[in-house]
A = this chain, B = another copy of it.
Amino acid sequence: MKNHIYKLIEITGTSTISSEDAVVRALKRAHKSIRNLAWFEVKETRGSIAKGKVLHWQVTLKVGFTLEG
């Protein structure tokens, strides 16, 4: 590992299926515009409710990626 510099961003993924699917979808979308995603941390897990059931899982991640030289 060289002396890398990383940038951290926050994104929120949503999913009707599960909280983990919300994470997966958020990373997939971030990967479209940023190539070097390295790690993430779950900051918040929320959701919207309809008729007593989870409508959307909403998971906010902090994601770190390598900054090119």
Contact = CB atoms under 8 A, between A and B. Distances in A.
Interface in A24-67: 24-32, 37-42, 44-49, 51-56, 60, 62-64, 67
Contacts of A41: 44-47
Most interface-central of A1, A5, A39 (chain B CB within 10 A): A5
Q: What's the number of copies of this chain in the assembled complex? A: 12
Nearest to A61: B47
Contacts of A53: 24, 27-28, 31
Contacts of A64: 12
A25 to B, nearest CB: 6
B30 A39 contact: no
12 contacts: A1-B14, A3-B25, A5-B26, A7-B9, A7-B12, A8-B9, A8-B60, A28-B52, A39-B49, A41-B45, A41-B46, A42-B44
